Amino acid sequence: MHNAMSEPLLNDGLAQTTLYPLDLRVTHAKGSRLFLDNGSSVIDFISGIGASSFGHSHPEITQAIHEQVDKHLHVMVYGEMRQSAQDEAAIALLDLLPINLDSVYFVNSGAEAIDAAMKLVRRTTHRQKIIAFKGGYHGNTFGALSVSSNAERKAPFQPLVGGIELLEWNDHASLELIDEQTAGVLVETIQGDAGIRIPDSDWISKLRNRCTETGAHLILDEIQCGFGRTGKAFAFEHFQIVPDHLCLGKALGGGMPMGALVSSRKHLQQFAHSPSLGHITTFGGHPVPCAASAVASKLLKQTNWDRVEAVGKKIESTLLDCSNVIALRRKGLYIAVELGSAEQVNRVVQTCLERGVLLFYFLSTPDAFRIAPPLNINDEDLQAALSTIVDVIEARA
C-alpha cells in the first residue's frame, strides 16, 4: 500500500501499529493545521480520524482542561465519587439526546463502549445472540473485533467472542433473522470503514421496528458518525429513529480519550449489581476528558449546520468535477472519495501529504480515501486543501 517498509518508531522504543506509519513529527496543532518539526504545516483534512471535530487546540476546550488539571486528576476508580467534571459532561451530553437516552456510562475508548453495550444487552435480556452487519467496523478489543466484519483482520485472533451473527447490511430479508433469541443488534448508523455507506431510511426504520417486535435491543455505533460528523448532532436524527443504546467516542472527548455508552437509567443500572462493578474501569469518566467533553457538547450544540452542509457540498461538487473520481459518498462532512484502485488512492494520499494536505485510507475499502475535516474548518484552509486535492487527482501535481 505504501512505498517502503520502515521501523521509525520501533527504533526509538515505541511499538508500531503498522509497518508504514506516517511518522510526521508534530510540534503543535491549531484549528485545521498540524505544525511539524521541519517548520512546515499540514492541513488535517481528516480531523485525526474524526476525533478533532472542533479543530485542534480549541481555546475553550484547552482552557477547560487547564482548569480541571489545576483542580484534580484521577481520584478514584469510576463510579465511587462524585466529580463535578463528570456531572457536567453527562448533563451537557444528555441535553443533546432524546428522552429515553437519559443515562451515560463513561469509558476510555470507542471499542470499550461497544464491549459495554454487548455486555449490557446480554445482561438485560438474558439472551446470548448478538447480531451485527457485514461492512461494520466497531474496534479492536476482543468484543468489538468479534462484531466487526473484516474477516482477514479477525482470522489471526480466533477464537473470538461466540454467539455473534453477521447479517447482510441494508437488506430487508436479513431482518427476519432478528428473533426472540436476539439480545442486541449493533449497527453503525452510517458505515464508516465500509467507505461511508448510508442505509435506506426504510431499512433502518424496519430494523428499529423488528428489534422492538422481538425484544432485541438496538445499539447504534455512532463512535465515528455521531457527534456532528454527518451534519446533525447524531446520525440517527437523519432517520427519525431512536436506539436503545448509543455508543460514542472520538469527537465526544474534544481531543481527549473518551468513550460512552448512553442508554436508559433502567438498563444502565444493571451494571451496578449481579455482579456489582459489572463493567468497572479504573479511568472511565476521568475528570480531564470529562471537562473537555462538556465543552465539546456545548460546541456541538452551537454548531452552524448550514455552514457544515455548505462545506460538504463544496467538497462534493469540487471533487465530482474531477475526471478520475468514480464516486463520492457523503453525509455532512463524513466523506468517501472512490478512485477505482488502491494504487490511485495511495498515490493521491501520499502526494497530497507531500503537498501539505492530510487525507487517509479506509481499513477495508482500499479503492477510496476518506475526508472528514473539522466541522469549523476555515474558508482559507478548505480552499487550499481542495485545490491541492484536485491538482493531485488530476495528476497536475
Place of cell 501520499: 350
Q: Which residues contribute to the site for ligand PLP (CB under 6 A)?
A: 109-111, 114, 137-139, 188, 192, 221, 223-224, 249, 259
Min dist CB 195 to ligand PLP, Å, is 12
CA pseudo-torsion sign 42, 358, 258, 152: negative
Min dist CB 46 to ligand PLP, Å, is 11
Min dist CB 396 to ligand PLP, Å, is 32
CA distance 336 to 230: 12
Q: Between residues 88 and 115, which has the closer beta carbon with respect to ligand PLP? A: 115
Q: Which residue is nearest to ligand PLP (CB)?
A: 110
CA 287 distance to own-chain centroid: 21
Min dist CB 111 to ligand PLP, Å, is 3
Q: Between residues 224 and 281, which has the closer beta carbon with respect to ligand PLP? A: 224
Q: Between residues 255 and 259, which has the closer beta carbon with respect to ligand PLP? A: 259
CB contact at 8 A, 339 and 393: yes
Min dist CB 249 to ligand PLP, Å, is 4
Asked if the peptide bond before residue 275 counts as cis, ω within 30 degrees of 0, the response is yes
- For 371, other C-beta atoms within 10 Å of its C-beta total 26
Q: Which three cell numbers stand for residue 128?
A: 446470548
Q: Between residues 361 and 381, which has the closer beta carbon with respect to ligand PLP? A: 361
DSSP 101-166: --EEEEESSHHHHHHHHHHHHHHHH---EEEEETT----SSHHHHHT---HHHHGGG-S--SSEEE
CA distance 16 to 153: 17
Min dist CB 226 to ligand PLP, Å, is 9
Q: Between residues 260 and 386, which has the closer beta carbon with respect to ligand PLP? A: 260
Q: Between residues 139 and 254, which has the closer beta carbon with respect to ligand PLP? A: 139
Q: Between residues 325 and 371, which has the closer beta carbon with respect to ligand PLP? A: 371
Min dist CB 276 to ligand PLP, Å, is 26
Return the DSSP state at 249.
-
CA distance 95 to 272: 24
